[in-house]
């Protein structure tokens, strides 16, 4: 085996010495790489003890530490901004780089998510509602709307019924329809006058309490005198009550429906440059020269932990080294366990710091400060002016 030289205390930087070269063109990264190599070597015992690493080993650990810091930072930013950016049309090819962008929260994706409620409530949404009708037959109470859909050319079970128009006109409208004929009163309800005398044709001022009592009277009149028209819909099987009679033969029963296939297709969006998951966020590697002193100190400590780990694996090749008259036991296990603990603690501390500076945490802190300030102002004595 060749006699490979180990760290000699004089690290020399050159472009291409790191595995990926992410930051080789950054002058500050190159300057700090030499300083970090000396820092780590001294912390590992050099020059009192040999450090079985090379300058490139420290440079590699330094590059990894910067990358880990950037990944943790951007992972935090993705959690903060994903709801505002999901579905956006960005790509690396278009030159987008979120690491140099300020993302302002917006309501677009939330509105898109809430459209489903508008669809189900019939007050908007992104799925069309259609209307259809069936012909009532005398003495036929049950109607298969799935068969109706097949006859219309829809696939089996593709329709979803949203409304059945099998209820009387609202009592308030029927009441005012009768009043529009001055003297016909509630008789218009029983005589089939419908809405021909709607309130727009004649305006009469009554106390609101009178209107409410009259409307309740219409409801009770219809419940007692008229047939109790209703329906039951189970799995698109419609049953109408009461059973249609001779007078209902040929009448149309209207309903609204949507197509399940359209609901699914309208919920899917696609695009070549569309952000559909966090792996598509256009984040480049972090710019080392823009990292402040707080971030750089974390990177230095993480580089030391990585160097300690590499040194532990190197020394683990031989558990003992023979020397004249004795043996030297190496500290591989201590190095690796210490390095693992240091890395875990550094990552935990960084994530905790990011969480404390999240948008939610900052707003909560500002709210607490505002409440504390207001509480302090409330203790100030109020001056009473006597004029």
Quick check: is 119 in a domain?
yes
Contact status, residue 242 vs residue 136, Cβ threshold 8 Å: no
> Could you list the residue range(s) of the whole structural domain that residue 195 is in?
169-227
Cis geometry, peptide bond prior to residue 242 (ω within 30 degrees of 0): yes
Paired residues of 274 in beta bridges: 89
Summarize the chain as % helix, strand, coil (round to 5).
50, 10, 40
Contact status, residue 166 vs residue 232, Cβ threshold 8 Å: no
pLDDT at position 324 is 57
One domain for residues 116 and 210? no
Number of domains into which the chain is organized = 3
Quick check: is 363 in a domain?
no
One domain for residues 207 and 88? no
Token representation of residue 148:
């109706």
One domain for residues 296 and 343? yes
The C-alpha angle with vertex 87 and arms to 82 and 92, in degrees rounded to 5, equals 85
One domain for residues 135 and 256? yes
pLDDT tens-digit profile of 46-64? 999 889 999 999 999 999 9
Q: How confident is the model at residue 168 (pLDDT cuts 50, 70, 90)?
A: low
Quick check: is 107 in a domain?
yes
Quick check: is 368 in a domain?
no
One domain for residues 86 and 23? yes
Quick check: is 366 in a domain?
no
Cis geometry, peptide bond prior to residue 376 (ω within 30 degrees of 0): no
Beta-sheet pairing, 237-241 with 326-329: unpaired
One domain for residues 140 and 258? yes
pLDDT at position 181 is 39
Any residues with CB less than 8 A from the CB of 167 and at least 6 apart, and which?
Answer: 229, 230
For the beta carbon of residue 56, count every other beta carbon within 10 angstroms. 17
One domain for residues 161 and 184? no
Side-chain half-sphere exposure of 298, counting CA atoms within 13 A: 23
Residue 76 or 173, more confident = 76
Q: Is 256 exposed, middle or buried (0-12, 13-18, 19+ CB in 10 A)?
A: middle
Token representation of residue 92:
């690396």
Quick check: is 160 in a domain?
yes
Q: How confident is the model at residue 199 (pLDDT cuts 50, 70, 90)?
A: very low
Quick check: is 376 in a domain?
no
pLDDT tens-digit profile of 306-324? 999 999 998 887 665 555 5
One domain for residues 139 and 197? no
Residue 80 per-residue DSSP state: H
Residue 328 per-residue DSSP state: E
Contact status, residue 309 vs residue 125, Cβ threshold 8 Å: no
pLDDT at position 86 is 82
Instruction: Provide the H-helix boundaries in the chain.
Output: 27-43, 55-85, 108-121, 145-151, 171-179, 187-190, 208-225, 260-266, 293-315, 332-356, 359-378
One domain for residues 85 and 173? no
One domain for residues 24 and 88? yes
One domain for residues 240 and 307? no
Checking if the pLDDT of 200 tops 70, the result is: no
Q: Percent of the chain at pLDDT above 70? A: 84
One domain for residues 17 and 115? yes
Q: How confident is the model at residue 249 (pLDDT cuts 50, 70, 90)?
A: confident
**What is the reported pTM?**
0.66
Side-chain half-sphere exposure of 42, counting CA atoms within 13 A: 10
Quick check: is 285 in a domain?
yes
Q: How confident is the model at residue 266 (pLDDT cuts 50, 70, 90)?
A: confident
CA–CA gap between residue 350 and residue 66 (Å, rounded): 13
Helices (H) and strands (E) in the chain, counts: 11, 8
pLDDT at position 147 is 92
């Amino acid at each position: 085996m060749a006699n490979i030289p180990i760290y000699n205390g004089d690290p020399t930087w050159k472009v291409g010495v790191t595995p990926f070269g992410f930051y080789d063109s950054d002058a500050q990264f190159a300057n700090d790489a030499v300083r970090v190599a000396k820092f780590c070597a001294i912390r590992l015992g050099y020059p009192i003890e040999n450090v079985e690493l090379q300058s490139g080993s420290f440079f590699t650990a330094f590059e990894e530490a910067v990358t880990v810091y950037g990944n943790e930072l951007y992972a935090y930013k993705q959690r903060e901004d994903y709801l505002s950016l999901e579905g956006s049309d960005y790509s690396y090819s278009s030159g987008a780089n979120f690491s140099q962008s300020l993302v302002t929260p917006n309501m677009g994706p939330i509105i898109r998510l809430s459209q489903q409620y508008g669809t189900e409530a019939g007050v908007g949404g992104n799925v069309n509602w259609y209307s259809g009708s069936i012909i009532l037959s005398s003495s036929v109470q049950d109607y298969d709307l799935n068969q109706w859909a097949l006859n219309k050319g829809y696939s089996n079970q593709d329709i979803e019924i949203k409304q059945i128009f099998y209820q009387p006109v609202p009592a308030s409208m029927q009441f005012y329809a009768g009043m529009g004929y001055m003297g016909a009163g509630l008789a218009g309800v029983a005589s089939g006058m419908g809405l021909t005398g709607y309130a727009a044709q004649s305006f009469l001022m009554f106390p609101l309490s009178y209107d409410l009592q009259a409307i309740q009277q219409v409801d009770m009149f219809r419940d007692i005198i008229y047939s109790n028209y209703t329906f039951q819909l189970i799995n698109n099987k419609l049953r109408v009550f009461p059973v249609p009679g001779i007078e209902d033969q040929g009448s149309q029963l209207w309903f609204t429906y949507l197509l399940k296939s359209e609901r699914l297709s309208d919920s899917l969006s696609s695009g070549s440059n569309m952000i559909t998951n966090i792996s598509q966020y256009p984040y480049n590697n972090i710019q080392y020269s823009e990292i402040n002193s707080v971030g750089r100190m974390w990177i230095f400590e993480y580089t030391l932990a990585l160097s300690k780990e590499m040194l532990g694996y190197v020394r683990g090749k031989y558990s003992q080294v023979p020397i004249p008259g004795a043996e030297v036991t190496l500290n591989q296990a201590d190095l690796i366990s210490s390095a693992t603990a240091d890395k875990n603690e550094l990552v935990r501390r960084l994530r905790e710091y990011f969480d404390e500076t999240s948008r939610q945490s900052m707003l909560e802190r500002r709210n607490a400060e505002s409440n504390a300030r207001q509480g302090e102002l409330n203790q100030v004595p109020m001056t009473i002016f006597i004029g």
